[in-house]
Amino acid sequence: MSQEKNIFNPSSIAIAMITHYPKWYRGNMQSIKNTDKIRGDLAIETIIKARQQGYHVLVADGQSSKTFRKTLSQMPELNLIKRESMKRRLARKQVIKMAQKLNEVKVIVETEAEKVSLITKCIPMITDLILNNKADIVVPKRNLELFKKTYPNYQYESEIEGNILYNEILKTSGFRDQKDEDLDLFFGPVAMKNTKMVVELFLGNFGFKVDLNAKSRQFFQQDEYGFLPIVAALKNKLRVKSVEVPFEYPKTQKMNELAAVGELFREKRRNQRMSILIDLLYFVQYLK
């Protein structure tokens, strides 16, 4: 007899996000180059849409403008937390830990606050396997056509290459089978089953040493972006699955990034990707 499929219940889902927009202001956008205004507006839209759909929403904010914090504080049923640290990895742990305590929550989705269409289009798809006990962790995978169409070209090319290399390392190191579908780790969002065994991986510290003088670490600390708990989950033989989603990159965010892009920014992207891959190589050796 087949197992009965769980009915999707928004109240069993927690959306965990961190925010930091010190230059955000109320009103209409004055310049497409104001990154905090663009991203802050998107974050507010994401939060509103998430609450409208019935999800629990937890936001850890750190040093955003007073007007942004006031705007968040006026939103009904928003779990607003003051960030204890400006380090992204610590703030993410803080908000995940708060989400873990919500008794009715079965799945925690950790995402960047600007990813509006992830909330409006993708959450049921991302959480389905976990709710039906077919996965412990889900890494959503961007639809390739929408990925190419809606992202800046340099970011699309960089993240495609980064994903290929990252998955190749995971497979050659024995953390994934060659037949396994590649994980879109450079996308960012992740859904986790709200059990101690799973969540504790995202709250843990990974004590491996790397060459802090390496040029590739000039701009970037890899554990700020949450790749390592997923690798640790693979090592522990947890069920890590990939699900394709119709995510679309926000148009205003694309315009903002294209307006700001320059060779220094592209170099930063290259160094970030290199740092992620170098740290993965260190980490898989540490886990072995």
In the structure, what pLDDT confidence band is assigned to residue 225 with cuts at 50, 70 and 90?
low
Nearest 5°: the CA angle 6, 108, 139 is 85
Convert the pLDDT of each residue in 34-71 to its tens digit: 999 999 999 999 999 999 999 999 999 999 999 999 99
Q: Specify the residue for token string 């974050």.
A: 43
Give me the CATH topology for the region 11-287.
Spore Coat Polysaccharide Biosynthesis Protein SpsA; Chain A (3.90.550)
Nearest 5°: the CA angle 50, 241, 127 is 25
Nearest 5°: the CA angle 227, 228, 231 is 100
**Nearest alpha carbon to residue 140 among 272, 247, 276:** 247
Nearest 5°: the CA angle 232, 173, 179 is 95
Cα gap 77→88, rounded to integer Å? 24
Where in the chain are the domains?
A: 11-287
Say if residue 84's pLDDT is above 70.
Answer: yes
Task: Look over the chain and give the mean of its residue pLDDT values, rounded to a whole number.
Answer: 90
Q: Please tell me the predicted confidence (pLDDT) of residue 219.
A: 40
Question: Is 280:186 a contact under the CB 8 Å cutoff?
Answer: no
Q: Please tell me the predicted confidence (pLDDT) of residue 226.
A: 73
This prediction's pTM: 0.91
Give start and end residues of each alpha helix (H) in 27-152. 35-52, 66-73, 88-100, 116-117, 123-131, 144-150
Say if residue 131's pLDDT is above 80.
Answer: yes
